[in-house]
Amino acid sequence: MLSFVSTVLFQETNRELISDIFGFMNNTQQGADILATQLGCRVAMPDFFKGKPWELSKFPPPDRDEFLAWIGKTQWPQVEPVLLKTIGFLREDGAKKFGITQSICPPSPLCRLSSPFLIRLLTLLLGLYGFCWGGKMASKATKYVGAVAMVHPAFTEVSDADDIVAPLALIDTKDEDKDTMDKFIEKVKAKPFGDKVFRKRFNNTFHGFCAGRANFQDEENAKLANEV
């Protein structure tokens, strides 16, 4: 179940990461390590796909029906118990706090917790972040953690806002439908904790630029990811 834990271990403060559909990509794991090192926390990433993530070479999916059948096997009813088991594992291993601070930091030597956006992130109680499909799953999990971040989320619907019961950060791109994202975030901002909800849209980059599809050797990709 738990296949990756950051190099910073045995911390009381913890984060949980829900990957994109590509699972344990180097980009995602290195980003978790950087986050853990800079914040002095531990980041855990469960293997929700049981060793069988979607292959990056098959994106975009050549057969949409095949992809939908595959992703349909790993939805919130399958994710929730794994998420809870991971939280239980971390607690048994000494974790006392879930959240406190959190940011999305790509695996780049240029990454620093210095941008105004990151500083704002650090004022919230964020314990869980998810990429792509993981962003959708993160939106379902706010009842279990202090807050969540959805990074270039996939499959988001306006009605998903109904599940949000804690502060949320939304980071979307040109590939996420703007009208849907606008309506979703406005519904969340209307909640009692709306002053702790915020969004940053990257209109000049692609879905996946912070996770499995990212190329941090590309200067522009790295620059935009570091703005997160």
DSSP labels for 10-77?
S-SEEEEEE--TT-S-HHHHHHHHHHHHHHT-EEEEE-TTTT-PPPGGG-S-SSHHHHHHHHTTSSHH
HSE of 142, CA atoms in CB hemisphere, 13 A: 22
What pLDDT shows up at residue 27?
A: 79
What number of other Cβ atoms are within 10 A of residue 120's Cβ? 14
* C-alpha angle 21-22-25 in degrees, rounded to nearest 5: 140
Please give the mean pLDDT across all residues of the chain. 78
What pLDDT shows up at residue 85?
A: 85
- pLDDT reading at 82 higher than 60: yes
Total domain count for the chain? Answer: 1
pTM of the model: 0.79
- State the average pLDDT over residues 172-199: 96
Residue 77: which CATH number?
A: 3.40.50.1820
Percentage of the chain beyond pLDDT 90 is 42
What pLDDT shows up at residue 16?
A: 64
What pLDDT shows up at residue 113?
A: 35
Q: Which residues pair with 13 in a beta bridge?
A: 97
- State the average pLDDT over residues 7-15: 45
Confidence of residue 146 (pLDDT cuts 50, 70, 90): confident
What pLDDT shows up at residue 100?
A: 34
How far out from the chain centre does Cα 89 lie?
A: 20
How far out from the chain centre does Cα 146 lie?
A: 14
Residue 19 belongs to domain spanning: 2-227
pLDDT digits (tens, 9 = 90+) for 83-139: 888 877 766 665 544 443 333 333 333 333 333 433 343 333 347 889 999 999 999
What pLDDT shows up at residue 114?
A: 34
Is pLDDT larger for residue 100 or for residue 223?
A: 223
- Which tokens in the block code for residue 13? 């403060």
What pLDDT shows up at residue 108?
A: 37
Is pLDDT larger for residue 182 or for residue 224?
A: 182
- pLDDT reading at 183 higher than 80: yes
- pLDDT reading at 190 higher than 60: yes
What pLDDT shows up at residue 81?
A: 92
DSSP-assigned states of every residue in 184-207:
HHHHHHTSTTGGG-EEEEETTS-T
pLDDT digits (tens, 9 = 90+) for 29-78: 766 776 677 667 777 888 899 889 999 899 989 999 999 999 999 999 99
Tokens 């209307």 sit on residue: 190
